[in-house]
Amino acid sequence: MTSQTNRIAPNAQALAELVAPPASSLMSRPEFVWGVATASYQIEGAIAEDGRVPSIWDTFSAKPGKVLHGDTGEHACDHYHRWSEDVDLIESLGVDAYRLSIAWPRVMHADGTPNRKGLDFYKKLLTRLAEKGIQRFVTLYHWDLPQYLEDRGGWLNRDTAYRFAEYADLVSRELQGLVTGWATLNEPWCSAYLGYGNGHHAPGLANTRWATQALHHLLLGHGLALPLLRANDPVARCGIVANVGRGTTDGTTEADRIAAQRYEVQHNDWILQPLLKGSYPEELFKLWPGTEPLVLDGDMEIISRPMDFLGINYYFRSNLRSDGGTGFVDVPLKDVERTQMGWEVYPQGLEDLLRRFKSQYDRLPPIYITENGMASDDAVVNGEVVDEQRMRFMKSHFAAVARAIDAGVDVRGYFAWSLMDNFEWAFGYERRFGITHVDYDTQVRTLKQSGRALQAFLALRRGS
Ligand code: IFM
371 is catalytic: yes
Region 127-133: mean pLDDT is: 98
Count of beta carbons in the 10 Å neighbourhood of residue 337: 12
Q: pLDDT value at position 10?
A: 59
Q: Is the peptide bond before 418 cis (omega within 30 degrees of 0)?
A: yes
Residue 297 Cα to ligand 1 midpoint, Å, equals 34
Mutate to test the pocket of ligand 1, among 144, 187, 240, 429 (most ligand atoms within 8 A of CB): 187
Residue of 187, 264, 283, 351 with catalytic role: 187
Q: Which domains does the chain have, with CATH numbers?
A: 12-462 (3.20.20.80)
Q: pLDDT value at position 4?
A: 40
pLDDT digits (tens, 9 = 90+) for 245-271: 999 999 999 999 999 999 999 999 999
Is any atom of ligand 1 closer than 6 Å to the C-beta of 189? no
Which residues lie below 8 Å from residue 266, measured CB to CB, with a gap of 6+?
284, 287, 288
Region 26-40: mean pLDDT is: 97
Phi, psi of 3 (to 5 degrees): -65, -30
For CA atoms 280, 286, 288, 292, the dihedral sign is positive
430 is catalytic: no
Is any atom of ligand 1 closer than 6 Å to the C-beta of 313? yes
Calculate the CA dihedral of residues 458, 460, 461, 464 and round it to 10 degrees.
100
- The mean of the pLDDT values for the chain is 97
Region 202-215: mean pLDDT is: 98
- Shortest-distance atom of ligand 1 to CA 313: 6
Give residue 6's pLDDT band: very low, low, confident or very high (50, 70, 90).
Answer: very low
Q: pLDDT value at position 134?
A: 99
Region 174-203: mean pLDDT is: 98
Which residues lie below 8 Å from residue 269, measured CB to CB, with a gap of 6+?
281, 283, 284
